[in-house]
Structure 1
Amino acid sequence: MERHLVTAFILLVAVVLYSLGFTGSGTALIGIGGAFELWFWVRVLPPRQRPSRP
């Protein structure tokens, strides 16, 4: 359950940083928001499984 809360918090931070960046605070906030969104997707998507070699 804690993992889901952390993931939801990461998405919330990304959205807040995006909104602050678009209201004129700077493009750095948009970039940081993008980094948090990328972190969110890394946590949400399952890891790829490598095929085993015979």
Structure 2
Amino acid sequence: MKHHIITATILVLAVACYLAGYSGIGNAAFIVGAGFETWFWIRLLIKRPSA
């Protein structure tokens, strides 16, 4: 759940940057958020065997 809060916060930051005209920072925030989301889904879908 914590991961989704971070991703949503970064998305809001990206949108705010786009609206303020800072497209470079907005693009960077969008890429970071997409990276976090991808990492989450990879960890969810690839299950490692328990020790």
TM-score by length of 2: 0.70
Where in structure 1 do 4 or more consecutive aligned residues deviate above 3 Å?
none
> Mind listing any 5+ residue stretches in structure 2 that lack a counterpart?
47-51
Output aligned runs, 1:1-54, within 5 Å.
Answer: 1-21=1-21, 29-45=22-38, 46-47=41-42
> Greater CA radius of gyration, 1 or 2?
1
Partner deviation per Cα, 1:9-37 (whole Å, 9 max, x = no partner): 0000000000110xxxxxxx110000000
Percent identical residues? 34
How big is the alpha-carbon RMSD for the aligned residues of Structure 1 and Structure 2?
Answer: 1.5
Give the structure with the larger helix fraction: 2
> Mind listing any 5+ residue stretches in structure 1 that lack a counterpart?
22-28, 50-54
TM-score by length of 1: 0.67
